[in-house]
């Protein structure tokens, strides 16, 4: 009798021994079964979490009282007895359904269908709320902010009717369209069914081959960790780095199973060390990484220093090194790789620009292809940071070559932070969080945002027929560049002098 | 379950319709003393484009006081214009111009069908829109000797009155597909993907899947319906041929249309569809779409129609099959000028969806999926709410479209005359008649 071990009991283990299957094999099979039985599909638990601070409404609604009164009197006599007509309102969203109807409209409920102002142009006016337009800046627009707010509130994928409403192409991430396939899916079960698309990514170095000692033991076990989503949480600016916010980041990172990068002093002071927290340590203090315990898996050196690196290169923790896109960053990146750094955290400003004004989509590609040319792409993990302001930026950044991205402003916006001042320079924005911010609410808002962005990533991957996000990295062939397509489509047309973007 | 509303009383119906219709007039006409609604429009469908469409749907003419040609999206159609040829090259203003379009260019014994105008109505399913909207479009298609598509939601009984003008759509969920509706149709449209949500299938939210809609689709009322992606029986062009054979068995004379999105290899997809037996390759660009779609899909997945048309046109020319297939463009076609530009870029004709709805009063508020009220479109268009859907009556809707099509037709003829062309077919692929406006929008 040969048993597979799939349903082994202690008795059958004994039977198995009779047919000379070594016990460790059977035991391993039992453990595998145990693990399979406890398998659960990765899922982020989103729960609708109401706003704590009022977001500027989309529309202002003004009703002329005299005009309304005149209408009511007229309709009262004209439709006397037909009370459904007299009391009908030109709004299905309740803007005029308060106690005194149109005399005190409720513009917070307005969705901009404009039925009221089309039907009653004499005395109803609906305008865009200028307060909403004031949010953000030229890159992080009020639309991004309102969308993030909705995503953090509901944890769902924003869905609307009537097609696209914006510019044809655009700068930055808008210059890329992503590909799709007419007939290929990762599986045949559909994105809304049982289809499984992996969003986990590995941080660290994957050896290109395995080496074994004479006794069969593995000599170069991969030194890496896996997180469930291709995004991590970058440090909050100093302004809000004092207590609650870092704790929220750490807890949300644990719930989502990603990483929160936090200043090492904050981690120590608040006792946040753990498997989902990455203490950020200055190079000159890197020798102190042994002080982090409680399951810490990774730390980050905040700048490159070859001597400091040499002292910790063999440390069991994974160590990432932060590298701003400034000066001759590429040469520095190559020095880091030569020294054995396996995780590089590339950092641009909040508009996704390097100090020379180049955008991260170009910079990520340059870093990625430099590694490809060296034949080392899988031995180094690239985390890209800067300019990520919407869910679509995530897959687009990965297509251009990074393994994962780190999020900055979107996390603060998920907690309804009001950002003002300099929104370009890292750590420079003035941040005003809701006064009633608390741990549970903040964590859930970030978890919701993570859920929404992951689900939107699944939409992109599903449309392409990709089974996992790891295969998207550097897949430039999956990108369609607006400028290139315009050249191809309009190149022969008189007056065409290159794409508009 | 959604809260039930009742049909409006005759008085309420009369009052509401009067106010709506008056409102469309007041906002679109210059002499009423009211300007355009301040919060109306966006970069693609500007306030002027929307109100110009209302004007055309009322008068059958293009307005002098509004830009009815282009939006402000900064690219594509909005940067293209037709060249101004010397007057002596124009045709006379009253010269006959033929804008009809033959859809079957294969000699395969199937129906030949020439539609009177180079456009037809795109698929909007029963459920995503009301029966009144569907019938308005069908009646207008009948009057104009063109077509409209059922979308993927079945073939309501009333539509059989216009069956010669109704395309039956077979999509991935097979909702409402039955032998009878396939036998009735002159054209069967296989929807592989749609531009607004390429590669993602369809989704009818629970609130819109009421009793009648569910009955038509063979589903449970007020349960969300997902149309999966892709066809679970299609892995290749050969599999697609099996689909066509299946239809051929049921309706041997029907033409086949294949509706696809615009990925990187859209040219190869089109050629494959042709060799599988398609008469019409229907390219659906990423910027259009009338139904609810994930915001991330609309802009980002697949390419705009302006960029896909020349790609497919040129590739099919190179393959030597361009004259054996009809290329229809949709997904972002807003105006008569857009249509003419699409044809100049290489399409044979176009499909309209959003602009039909705008002609019937849509303000593009984007709450088609239900919005906060859960009842769908407040104008009664993209809704099956028993009260709201009554506000669009069939006769009124059909007449609005009739007038709108009159304006489109006259504008397309005007463009052709100014280009010295006497048939719409002569415009196809004539990029030499276009110019690109690099420093601003086209007029």
Residue-level pLDDT at A218:
86
Q: Which two tokens mark B301?
A: 């997945």
Per-residue pLDDT at A194: 52
pLDDT-derived band at A4, boundaries 50, 70, 90: very low
pLDDT 10s digits, B182-236: 999 999 999 988 888 887 777 777 777 888 888 888 888 888 887 777 777 777 8
Q: Which pLDDT does position A117 carry in this prediction?
A: 97
Residue A463: C-alpha distances to residues A170, A362, A395, A466, B263 (Å): 22, 24, 12, 8, 10
Whether A485 sits inside 8 A of B290 (CB atoms) is: no
Average pLDDT over residues A325-353: 97
Site from A164, A457, A494 to mutate, B interface, most B CB atoms within 10 angstroms: A164
Give the C-alpha distances (Å, rounded to integers) separating B59 from B352, B383, B390.
19, 26, 23
pLDDT at B441: 65
Give the pLDDT score at A12. Answer: 39
| Of B234, B375, B435, Cβ closest to residue A495 | B435
- Confidence bin at B4 (pLDDT 50/70/90): low
DSSP state, A311?
Answer: H
Contact of A219 with chain B, judged by CB distance below 8 Å, is answered with no
Distance from CA of A394 to the nearest CA of B (A): 11
Asked if A64 has any chain B CB less than 8 Å from its own CB, the reply is: no
pLDDT at A468 over 70: yes
Nearest to B23 among A121, A161, A176 (CB): A121
What DSSP designation does B163 have?
Answer: G
* B354:A163 CB<8 A: yes
Question: How far apart are the CA of B10 and the nearest CA of chain A, in angstroms?
Answer: 10
How much is the mean pLDDT over chain B? 92
Q: CB A493 to CB B39 under 8 A?
A: no
Q: What angle do CA B356, B359, B365 make, to 5 degrees?
A: 90
pLDDT of A127 over the 70 cut:
yes
Average the pLDDT over each of A53-67, A445-459, B281-295 and give the range with the smallest value.
B281-295
DSSP A155-221: -S--EESS---S-SS-SGGGGEEE---SS--SSSS-TTTT---B--EEEEE--SS--B-TTS-BSS-
pLDDT interval class at A2 (50, 70, 90) = very low
pLDDT of B284 > 80? The answer is: yes
DSSP codes, B108-151: SSSPP-EESSSEEEPP--BTTB-HHHHHHHHHHHHHTT--EE--
Q: Are B276 and B260 in contact (CB under 8 A)?
A: no
Question: pLDDT-derived band of residue B351, with 50, 70 and 90 as boundaries?
Answer: very high
Confidence class for position A29, pLDDT limits 50, 70, 90: confident
Alpha-carbon distance B20 to A432, whole Å? Answer: 44
Other CB atoms within a 10 A radius of the CB of residue B118 amount to 26
- The complex's ipTM works out to 0.94
Q: Measure in Å the smallest separation between the Cα of A141 and chain B Cα atoms.
A: 15
Residue numbers of B between 188 and 227 with CB closer than 8 Å to A: 192-193, 196, 198-201, 203, 226
For the record, the structure tokens of B173 come out as 């969920």
Q: How far is B105 from chain A (nearest CA, A)?
A: 24
Q: Which of B34, B229, B287 sits opposite A185 (nearest CB)?
A: B229
How far is the C-alpha of A460 from the C-alpha of A457, rounded, in Å? 5
Summarize the confidence of residues B275-299 as an average pLDDT: 89
- Contacts B28 to A, Cβ<8 Å: none
Query: Which residues of A, range 428-457, sit inside 8 Å of B by Cβ?
Result: 456
Q: How many CA atoms lie within 13 Å of B71's alpha carbon, on the beta-carbon side?
A: 27
Query: What confidence score (pLDDT) does residue A499 get?
Result: 67
Q: Looking up tokens 């077919």, which residue turns up?
A: B425
Give the integer Cα–Cα distance in Å for B115 and B103.
8
Q: Out of A79, A182, A459, whose CB is closest to B11? A: A79
Burial A8-46 (b: 16+ CB within 10 A, else e): beeeebeebeeeebeeeebeebbeeeeeeeeeeeeebeb
Is residue A7 scored above 50 in pLDDT?
Answer: no
DSSP labels, B261-287: ---TTHHHHHHHHHHTT-SEEEEE-TT
Please check whether residue B261 touches A, CB under 8 A: yes
Q: Angle at CA A20, nearest 5°, toward A17 and A22?
A: 70
Please give the mean pLDDT across all residues of chain A: 90
Q: Does B438 touch chain A (CB under 8 A)?
A: yes
A406-429 confidence digits (pLDDT tens): 999 999 999 999 999 999 999 899
Residue B319 CB coordination number (10 Å) = 15
Residue B226: its pLDDT value, please? 78
Segment A141-190, tens digit of pLDDT: 999 999 999 999 999 999 888 889 999 988 999 999 999 887 766 554 55
Name residues 79-98 of chain A within 8 A of B (Cβ). 79, 82, 84-85, 88, 90-94
**CB-closest option in A112, A485, A494 to B303:** A485
Cα–Cα distance measured from residue B167 to residue B185, given in angstroms and rounded to the nearest whole number: 6
The pLDDT-based confidence of A13 (bands split at 50, 70, 90) is: very low
For the beta carbon of residue A363, count every other beta carbon within 10 angstroms. 25
* Strand pairing category for A479-481 and A318-324: unpaired
A16, A8 contact by CB (below 8 A):
yes
d(CA B208, CA B213): 8
When pLDDT is averaged across residues A477-489 and rounded to a whole number, the result is 95
Digit-coded pLDDT (tens) for B173-193:
888 888 999 999 999 999 988
pLDDT band, very low/low/confident/very high, at B240 (cuts 50, 70, 90):
confident
pLDDT of residue B193: 85
Select the residue of A109, A127, A183 nearest B372 (Cβ to Cβ).
A109
The region of weakest confidence among A198-207, B215-224, B392-401 is B215-224
pLDDT at A237: 77
Note the pLDDT of residue A196.
80
Quickly state the pLDDT bin for A241 (edges 50, 70, 90): low
pTM: 0.92
Short-list B114, B71, B24, CA closest to B349? B114
Kindly report which listed range (A419-423, B28-32, B235-239, B435-439) carries the lowest average pLDDT score. B235-239
Contact A125 B437 (CB under 8 A): no
Binary contact (A176, B43; C-beta < 8 A):
no
Reduced to 3 states (helix: H, G, I; strand: E, B; else coil), residue B82 is strand
Secondary structure element (H or E) that encloses residue A132, with its range = helix A130-133
* B440 Cβ under 8 Å from any chain A Cβ: no
pLDDT digits (tens, 9 = 90+) for A373-391: 999 999 999 999 999 999 9
Interface probe with B: pick from A82, A163, A472, most Cβ of B within 10 Å: A163
Query: What does the pLDDT average to over B335-354?
Result: 98
User: Residue B185: what pLDDT?
Assistant: 96
Q: What is the pLDDT, as a whole number, of residue A21?
A: 54
- Asked whether the predicted pLDDT for residue A311 surpasses 90, the reply is yes
Query: Residue A15 pLDDT > 50, yes or no?
Result: no
Tokens of B357: 């709805």
Q: Could you say which residues from 98 to 117 on chain B have a Cβ atom under 8 Å away from some Cβ of chain A?
A: none
**Residue ranges of E strands in B323-362:** 326-330, 349-352
Q: What pLDDT score does B1 carry?
A: 43
Query: What is the β-pairing status of strands A429-432 and A418-421?
Result: antiparallel
State the pLDDT at residue A452: 97
Share of chain B above pLDDT 70, in %: 98
| Interchain proximity A112–B229, CB inside 8 Å | no
The beta-carbon neighbor of A164 closest among B287, B379, B437 is B287
Q: Work out how many CB contacts closer than 8 A connect A with B.
A: 306
- Report the SS3 class of residue B330: strand
Between chains, do A162 and B234 touch, taking CB under 8 Å as contact? no
Helix (H) / strand (E) element for B169: namely: strand B166-171
pLDDT at A10: 37
Cα B197 to Cα A182, A463, A465, B9, B417: the distances in Å are 12, 9, 14, 38, 37
Closest CA to B47 of B58, B60, B63, B32: B63
Residue A3 has pLDDT above 70, yes or no: no
Find the CB nearest B288 among A163, A482, A489. A163
């Amino acid at each position: 009798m040969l048993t597979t071990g799939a349903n082994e009991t202690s008795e059958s283990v004994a039977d198995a021994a009779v047919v000379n299957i070594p016990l460790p094999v059977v035991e391993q099979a039992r453990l595998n079964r145990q693990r399979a039985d406890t398998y659960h599909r990765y899922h982020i638990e989103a729960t609708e979490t109401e706003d704590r601070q009022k977001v500027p409404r989309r529309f202002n609604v003004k009703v002329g009282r005299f005009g309304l009164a005149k209408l009511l009197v007229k309709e009262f006599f004209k439709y006397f007895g037909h009370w459904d007509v007299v009391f009908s309102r030109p709004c299905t969203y309740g803007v005029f359904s308060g106690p005194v109807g149109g005399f005190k409209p409720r513009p917070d409920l307005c969705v901009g269908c404009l039925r009221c102002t089309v039907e009653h142009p004499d005395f109803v006016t609906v305008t865009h709320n200028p307060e909403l337009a004031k949010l953000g800046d030229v890159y992080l627009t009020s639309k991004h902010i309102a969308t993030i707010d909705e995503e953090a509130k509901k944890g769902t994928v924003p869905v609307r009717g009537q097609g696209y409403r914006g510019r044809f192409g655009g700068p930055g991430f808008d210059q890329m369209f992503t590909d799709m396939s007419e007939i290929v899916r990762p599986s045949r079960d559909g994105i809304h069914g049982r289809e499984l698309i992996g969003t986990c990514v590995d941080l660290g170095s994957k050896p290109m081959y395995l080496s074994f000692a004479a006794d069969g033991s593995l000599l170069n076990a991969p030194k890496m960790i896996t997180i469930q989503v291709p995004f991590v949480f970058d440090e909050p600016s100093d302004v809000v780095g004092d207590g609650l916010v870092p704790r929220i980041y750490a807890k949300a990172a644990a719930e989502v199973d990603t990483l929160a990068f936090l200043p090492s002093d904050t981690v120590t002071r608040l006792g946040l060390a753990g498997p989902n927290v990455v203490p950020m340590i200055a190079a000159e203090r890197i020798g102190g990484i042994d002080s982090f315990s409680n399951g810490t898996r990774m730390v980050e050196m905040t700048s490159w220093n070859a001597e400091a690196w040499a002292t910790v290169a063999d440390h069991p923790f994974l160590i990432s090194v932060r590298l701003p896109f400034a000066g001759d960053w590429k040469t520095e990146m190559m020095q880091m790789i030569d020294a054995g750094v396996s995780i590089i955290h590339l950092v641009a400003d909040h508009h996704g620009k390097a100090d020379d004004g180049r955008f991260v989509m170009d910079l990520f590609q340059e870093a990625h292809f430099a590694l490809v040319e060296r034949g080392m792409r899988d031995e180094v993990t690239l985390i890209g940071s800067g300019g990520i302001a919407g869910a679509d930026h995530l897959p687009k950044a990965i297509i251009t070559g990074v393994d994962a991205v780190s999020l900055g402003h979107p996390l603060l916006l998920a907690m309804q932070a009001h950002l003002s001042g300099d929104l370009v320079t890292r750590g420079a924005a003035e941040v005003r969080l809701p006064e009633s911010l608390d741990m549970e609410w903040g964590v859930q808002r970030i978890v919701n945002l993570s859920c929404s962005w992951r689900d939107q990533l699944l939409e992109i991957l599903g449309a392409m027929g990709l089974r996992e996000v790891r295969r998207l990295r550097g897949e430039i062939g999956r990108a369609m560049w607006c400028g290139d397509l315009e050249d191809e489509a309009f190149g022969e047309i008189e007056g065409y002098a290159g794409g508009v973007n | 379950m959604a809260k039930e509303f009742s049909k409006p009383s005759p008085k309420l119906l009369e009052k509401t319709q009067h106010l709506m219709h008056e409102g469309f007039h007041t906002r679109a006409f210059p002499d009423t003393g009211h300007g355009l609604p301040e919060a109306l429009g966006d970069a693609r469908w500007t306030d002027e484009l929307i109100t110009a469409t209302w004007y055309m749907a009322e008068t059958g003419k293009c307005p002098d006081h509004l830009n009815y040609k282009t939006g402000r999206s900064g690219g594509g159609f909005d940067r293209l214009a037709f060249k101004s040829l010397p007057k002596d090259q124009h045709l006379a203003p009253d010269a006959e111009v033929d804008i009809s379009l033959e859809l079957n260019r294969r000699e395969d014994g199937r129906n030949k069908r020439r539609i009177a105008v180079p456009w037809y109505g795109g698929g909007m399913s029963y459920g995503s829109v009301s029966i009144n909207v569907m019938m308005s479009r069908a009646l207008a298609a009948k009057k104009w000797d063109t077509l409209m598509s059922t979308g993927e939601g079945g073939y309501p009984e009333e539509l059989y009155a216009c069956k010669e003008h109704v395309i039956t759509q077979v999509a991935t969920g097979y909702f409402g597909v039955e032998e009878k509706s396939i036998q009735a149709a002159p054209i069967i449209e296989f929807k592989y993907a749609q531009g607004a949500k390429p590669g993602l299938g369809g989704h009818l939210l629970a609130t819109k899947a009421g009793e009648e809609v569910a009955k038509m689709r063979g589903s449970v009322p007020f349960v969300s319906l997902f149309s999966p992606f892709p066809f679970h029986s299609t892995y290749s062009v050969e599999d697609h041929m099996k689909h066509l054979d299946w239809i051929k068995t049921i309706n041997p004379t029907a033409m086949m249309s294949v509706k696809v999105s615009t990925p990187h290899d859209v040219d190869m997809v089109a050629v494959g569809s042709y060799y599988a037996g398609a008469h019409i390759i229907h390219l659906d660009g990423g910027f259009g779409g009338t139904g609810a779609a994930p915001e991330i899909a609309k802009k980002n997945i697949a390419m705009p129609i302006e960029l896909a048309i020349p790609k497919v046109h040129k590739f099919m020319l190179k393959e030597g099959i361009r004259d054996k297939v009809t290329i229809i463009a949709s997904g972002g076609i807003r105006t008569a000028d857009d249509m003419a530009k699409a044809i100049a870029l290489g399409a044979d004709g176009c499909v309209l969806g959003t602009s039909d709805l705008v002609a019937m009063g849509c303000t593009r508020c984007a709450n088609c999926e239900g919005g906060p009220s859960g009842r769908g479109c407040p104008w009664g268009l993209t809704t099956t709410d028993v009260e709201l859907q009554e506000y669009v009556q069939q006769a009124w809707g059909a007449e609005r479209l009739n007038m709108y099509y009159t304006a489109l037709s006259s504008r397309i003829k005007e463009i052709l005359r100014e280009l010295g062309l006497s048939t719409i077919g002569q415009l196809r692929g004539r990029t030499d008649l276009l110019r690109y406006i690099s420093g601003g929008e086209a007029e």
